[in-house]
Structures are given as C-alpha cells and as structure tokens.
C-alpha cells in the first residue's frame, strides 16, 4: 500500500502476563502475513515484544510494572505490500490479549477508529449513520475505556498518556459491512464468569500441531466436557466470523495446517468463546466467559477435563507448559502481592503446569508444585505430566472466587524464592 500512515492509542492496556503471548502472536503473524510488515523477518526473529514492535516500526510505552499502556506507529508509511485494511490483522492478533484498546489510524489523512474488545475488533471509518449507531459506538467506547481503567487500577499503573489529536478528514473508501452471525446472545449463566488458557509447545517437532486427529479430537472433546455452548459462529485465522455448521467445521479441521479456530456463541463480547491457536512451536487453548451458576456448575470441572484431553492428545510430540483458569468478574479487588514471579500468574482459580517443562524452566518451584503443602480449600490433581492446582471447591460461589484468588496469591508468594541481590 505504502500510503502515509499514523496510529495512536487513546486507551490501551496489555497486561504484563500476556506480553510474551503478544510476542508469539506477532511472530506468527509475520510468518503468515509478511506483507503486513516492512521487515517481517526481523519481527519473526525478535527477542522480545518491544523489539518485535520496533522491527515493525511501532513504538510502545511500558508502565513501571511492565504492562503495555500505549502503542503508536513511528513509520511514515504503511508497508508497501499491505492491503487497504492494514493494520487490521495485527489488531486481530492482539485483541484477545489486551484488556481493551481504542486506536486511531490515519491513512493519507483519512481516519479510522479501531476498538479491541475481547476477540472482536470494531472498525469505523465514517460518521454514524443514525442516532442508534451513534449510541452503539459511544457504548462500545465507554466499555473499552472502562475495561482499560479497571485493568490499570488493578495493576496500579500510572495515568494513561493523553491521546493524540484525532484526524478530521473522513476516509473515502467503501464501508465494510459484516453481517452478524447471530442476532441475540443465547441465555447465559448468571453466576461468575471465568476464562482459561493452556499453552503447550515443542522446540523440535515444528509440525506436531498439524496432526488432524489431534485437532478433531480437541474440538470433539468440548461436548463431553460440557463446553459445547450454543455456538453459532466460527472464525478461522482471525477472519470475520461466519455462521457455524458441523460440516463446515469438519472441513476446516480436515484442511488444517496452522492458524486459529474460534467458536463463538454470539457477537456479544461477554458470550462464551473457545479458541485454538496453533503455529510454529506454540499452541494456545483459550476459553472465555462461561457462566458458573447452578445450571452450569460442572463447567469448571469440564475445563479441567478439556485440559486433560489436550495434554493426553499431544503425547510425546510436544509438552504442556502452563496455564490457568481465572476470574473475569471479581466482587472485590485483590491486594497488591508482596512480589511476583515471571512465569506464574497470580489471582487465579486453578493453575495448570507441565511437570517436565517446569523441571526445565522453573526448577526452583517444582518441589512446591508437586509436593508442597496446599492450604485448606485447595487441591492437587495429577494426570501424567499435567498437574492441576485447584484453589477452590465451589466454583459457582462469587465470594469463593475472591477467597480462592487470595488463597492462590498468598500461597505462591510464600513459595517464591527471594530475588537474588544484584
């Protein structure tokens, strides 16, 4: 494309715990869509997220805690071979990882606004057509700003940088209409909501994730574990969602090589969502927003069951790394931990670990993970190499979520080795 380009964030928050995931997402995007970058090879080989952004002509601001609080484009032109929707692929890769974001992009003085909420990316490059659309956009902006503010408050981050002055000239390109795959969300659980992630990887066998039997079994395992919600939409490689049917899904799996598969109940960012991302050395399972009320009281156990299936499917071709089940809505704020560990997420309801991977990457914590005495209300479950530390019993009780997060956080801080003096 090569047109003059600027991009600035007026609201943005990528938590430190997801920065490494963002680096993997950037590397995968550089390999899959190299035209989106001036120097895709430099992005793919970057040692950290800041270096990957720098190689892509983007700049970032970290707060004192290591969270990313701002992005801005520092190049004068968009990559020459990129298409008219640059940098939409990059925003789609980042959207599941950030708390939320509002990003203003101009191409040849034509402005567009991108709002990142969960797995959904809104793109506006025209004035609202009517009052209803104006109200809808205002609501989405407020929600994004609220999520960023809440995330910053939890992290005790410094104030957000002031947004750059917005561009005023409207872009003349044709408006992109994406028909909804569902008009309204299905009935959701009324209890507390949770998310889940589980990473597993191989440093030697770079094609292990192309095992079609594994991909098919991962999807099939959703239903017996109570995780096949009222899915109506399917997205592949972060493209716009299409209406789901089982034959389309089976065909996608049969043609699988790498990328991302997403199953959604509705376009509502709070609706249940399941994602399987693969590529290179890493595969990431993600699940957001299942309601854990009396009607879905077994969902928490089902998430652990799905993780167990995933761990057993990969066999010796790859290894489980780590993951967690974490709350999306806590009724009380958690206190600031005494200290943190770079490989352990605090404030979770359950932690997943691959014992073999931990022995290599976290040897100082293996004894605690495998044999350390757990507090009352917590339990340890071992499935071959997969180890689960569960920090609560009744997953449907919102107050128990708070107690479990405090239980987990206190136990981990107690078992962290003291930092070495420089």
Left if phi > 0, otherwise alpha if psi is -120 to 50, otherwise beta: which for 396?
alpha
Q: Which residues contact 11 (CB under 8 A, 6 or more apart)?
A: 100, 101, 102, 144, 145, 148, 160, 163
- E strands present in 96-205: 100-107, 110-117, 120-124, 193-201
Are 237 and 32 in contact, with CB atoms under 8 Å apart? Answer: yes
pLDDT tens string, the chain, 422 residues long: the values are 668 888 989 899 998 888 988 998 899 899 988 999 988 999 999 888 988 998 899 988 888 788 899 998 987 789 988 887 899 999 999 998 998 999 999 888 788 999 998 878 999 988 787 788 888 888 888 888 888 887 887 776 444 444 444 444 343 333 334 344 444 444 556 788 899 988 877 766 666 666 777 778 888 999 999 999 888 888 887 677 788 888 888 888 877 766 678 898 887 767 888 988 776 556 778 888 888 887 788 899 999 999 999 888 777 777 888 899 999 888 888 888 877 776 788 899 999 999 988 888 788 888 889 999 999 999 999 998 999 999 999 999 999 999 999 999 999 988 886 655 44
Closest CA to 296 of 189, 397, 193, 186: 189
Q: How far is CA 293 from the centre of its chain?
A: 24
* DSSP secondary structure code for residue 237 in this structure: T
Closest CA to 67 of 34, 28, 42, 97: 97
- E strands present in 51-93: 58-62, 68-73
Q: What order do you get walking across the sheet with 58-62 strand by strand? A: 58-62, 68-73, 5-13, 100-107, 110-117, 120-124
Are 413 and 337 in contact, with CB atoms under 8 Å apart? Answer: yes
Domain spans, the chain: 5-155, 193-415
* pTM of the predicted structure, to 2 decimals: 0.58
């Amino acid at each position: 494309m090569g047109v003059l380009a600027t991009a600035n964030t007026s609201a943005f928050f990528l938590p430190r715990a997801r920065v490494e995931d963002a680096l993997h997402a950037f590397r995968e995007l550089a390999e899959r869509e190299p035209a989106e970058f001036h120097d895709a090879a430099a992005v793919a080989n970057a040692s950290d997220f800041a270096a990957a952004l720098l190689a892509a002509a983007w700049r970032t601001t970290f707060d004192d805690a290591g969270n990313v609080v701002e992005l801005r484009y520092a190049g004068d032109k968009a990559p020459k071979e990129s298409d008219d929707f640059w940098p939409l692929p990059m925003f789609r890769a980042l959207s599941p990882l950030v708390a939320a974001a509002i990003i203003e992009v101009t191409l040849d003085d034509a402005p567009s606004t991108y709002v990142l909420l969960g797995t959904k990316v809104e793109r506006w490059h025209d004035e609202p057509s009517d009052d209803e659309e104006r109200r809808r956009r205002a609501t989405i902006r407020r929600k994004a700003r609220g999520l960023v503010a809440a995330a910053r408050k939890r992290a005790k981050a410094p104030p957000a940088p002031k947004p750059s002055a917005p561009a005023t000239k409207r872009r003349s390109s044709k408006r992109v209409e994406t028909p909804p795959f569902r008009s309204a969300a299905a009935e959701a659980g009324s209890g507390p909501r949770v998310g889940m992630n589980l990473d597993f990887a191989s440093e030697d066998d770079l094609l292990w994730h192309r095992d079609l039997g594994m991909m098919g079994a991962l999807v099939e395992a959703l239903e017996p574990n109570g995780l096949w919600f009222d899915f109506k939409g399917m997205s592949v490689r972060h493209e716009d969602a299409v209406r789901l049917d089982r034959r389309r899904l089976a065909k996608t799996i049969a043609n699988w090589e790498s990328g991302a598969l997403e199953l959604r109940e509705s376009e509502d960012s709070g609706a249940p969502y399941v994602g399987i991302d693969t590529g290179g050395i890493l595969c990431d399972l993600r699940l957001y927003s299942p309601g854990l009320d009396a009607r879905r009281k077994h969902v928490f156990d089902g998430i652990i069951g799905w993780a167990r299936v995933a761990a057993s499917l990969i066999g010796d071709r790859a290894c489980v790394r780590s993951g967690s089940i974490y709350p999306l809505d806590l009724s009380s704020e958690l206190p600031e931990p005494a200290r943190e560990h770079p490989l352990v997420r605090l404030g979770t309801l359950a932690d997943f670990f691959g014992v073999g991977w931990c022995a290599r990457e976290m040897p100082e914590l293996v004894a605690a993970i495998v044999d350390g005495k757990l507090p009352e209300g917590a339990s340890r479950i071992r499935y071959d190499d997969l180890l689960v530390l569960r920090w609560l019993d009744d997953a449907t009780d919102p107050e128990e979520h708070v107690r479990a997060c405090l239980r987990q956080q206190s136990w981990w801080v107690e078992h962290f080795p003291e930092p070495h003096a420089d």
